[in-house]
Amino acid sequence: MIDYRKKTITKGQQQLRCGYTTGTCAAAAAKAAAVALLTGEIYRDVAICLPGGENILLETETLEHQKNCVKCGVIKDAGDDPDITNGLMICAAVEKNTSGEICIDGGEGVGRVTQPGLDQPVGAAAINSVPRKMIQEAVESVCRQYHYTEGLMVTISIPKGRETAEKTLNPMLGIVGGLSVLGTTGIVEPMSEKALIDTIAVDIRRHRAQGEDILVMAPGNYGLDYLKAACDIHSEQVIKISNFVGDSIDLAVCEGASGIVLAGHIGKLIKVAGGIMNTHSHQADARMEILTAYAAVAGADGETLRLVMKAVTTDAGMEILQRCGLLSETMQLILGKIQAHVQKRAGSRVETGIIIFSNVYGLLGQTENVPTMLAELAGKT
């Protein structure tokens, strides 16, 4: 029996502790409640089978115990991941009925899907497919063990889920009233890149389900703020991709997008001009090297190049180029190279447009097709 709370993974120079997903907690709570309902016995520890086949043991709490309904809970332990759901109680109420089936729904603090393109259909509780399967299989195993053939209603709830959800992406994704019950492996890996990429994938599918063929992407809040101020494009129209430029392009292509507009601060997107598709500083930071190289192509002399190379930020480097009249040409060269790398990643069937800007200098450049692409997007939203 594996205890993933004692398992660690290496991130940089740290050993970080793993935890459990909300889906794993919900499955354990549902199994404990089903056992108590069908046998009258209360088990503190419950074994759950993860999607990968491993069996783990979770500690549960019995919250309510009535003749036809038992409610149990598991306190979410996210390990060393900065998960906003860490410490929340994930509950499952299991009630007998005569349907002959195991039905799963969401209650207090579990969100409802209001927009197409997400893991669950519109109107359903935001309990994703893998957690649903885990809950279903956990309760089915109890029914088989105790030869129960009538129906059961399983209601997952998360006290404090509604207010916690306001601090997540759920409102933007069209999930209202609470949190999502998530998890693909059942285990939370600290600061998991996969979890972030999965969130981006959900947002891309949502935009595609709304009929958006052209997707607008920005690494972070700088891009969102610029697009709103300069292009009248609101944050709900933009897919926030963090540092995952390459993965986001791949996901957009897989979902059948016909065009991608990538907008970002030069300090982030300049890395893409060097072919860097994960722009996190831990992966690569060649901003000044790339800026210096393109300044050289634009005609900067040796002393200027030395000054640019020594600059601490791209804005400081651009100030040097501005003084010698080379900023515009350098930015156009960088813009072209960013688009070349993005286009190569996207493939020939997807049109790509690029916008680069600075908080100091404003718009530094955009590809010629951007106005047309944004106009087409505006016509469909």
Average pLDDT of every residue of the chain: 91
Q: Quick check: 282 pLDDT over 80?
A: no
Confidence category of residue 245, pLDDT binned at 50, 70, 90: very high
**133 found inside a domain:** yes
**194 found inside a domain:** no
Q: Does 24 share its domain with 130? A: yes
**25 found inside a domain:** yes
**pLDDT number for residue 237:** 92
**pLDDT number for residue 306:** 97
Q: Does 172 share its domain with 257? A: no
**pLDDT number for residue 190:** 65
**127 found inside a domain:** yes
**168 found inside a domain:** yes
Q: Does 240 share its domain with 285? A: yes
Domain endpoint, select from 188, 220, 238: 188
Q: Does 326 share its domain with 221? A: yes
**pLDDT number for residue 300:** 97
CA distance 166 to 227: 23
Domain endpoint, select from 154, 188, 222: 188
Cβ atoms within 10 Å of 341's Cβ, excluding its own: 21
Q: Quick check: 82 pLDDT over 80?
A: no
| Identity of the amino acid at 110 | V
Tokens of 170: 């759920």
Query: Which are the contacts of 192, defined by CB distance < 8 A and separation ≥ 6?
Result: 81
**256 found inside a domain:** yes
CA distance 380 to 360: 32
CA distance 5 to 25: 13
Q: Quick check: 359 pLDDT over 70?
A: yes
Q: How many domains, the chain?
A: 2
* Per-residue model confidence as pLDDT tens digits over 141-151: 999 999 999 99
CATH number for position 8: 3.30.2110.10
What average pLDDT score do residues 125-129 get? 96
**pLDDT number for residue 2:** 60
Q: What is the pTM of this model?
A: 0.71
**pLDDT number for residue 221:** 84
| Identity of the amino acid at 291 | L
Q: Quick check: 377 pLDDT over 90?
A: no
**pLDDT number for residue 351:** 97
**pLDDT number for residue 16:** 72
Q: Does 239 share its domain with 315? A: yes
Share of the chain above pLDDT 90, in %: 73
**pLDDT number for residue 5:** 55
Place of tokens 């979410």: 76
What domain range is 33 assigned to? 4-188
Burial, 301: exposed, middle or buried (Cβ in 10 Å; 0-12, 13-18, 19+)?
Answer: exposed
Confidence category of residue 280, pLDDT binned at 50, 70, 90: confident
**197 found inside a domain:** no
* Per-residue model confidence as pLDDT tens digits over 14-31: 667 778 999 999 999 999
Place of tokens 């410490």: 87
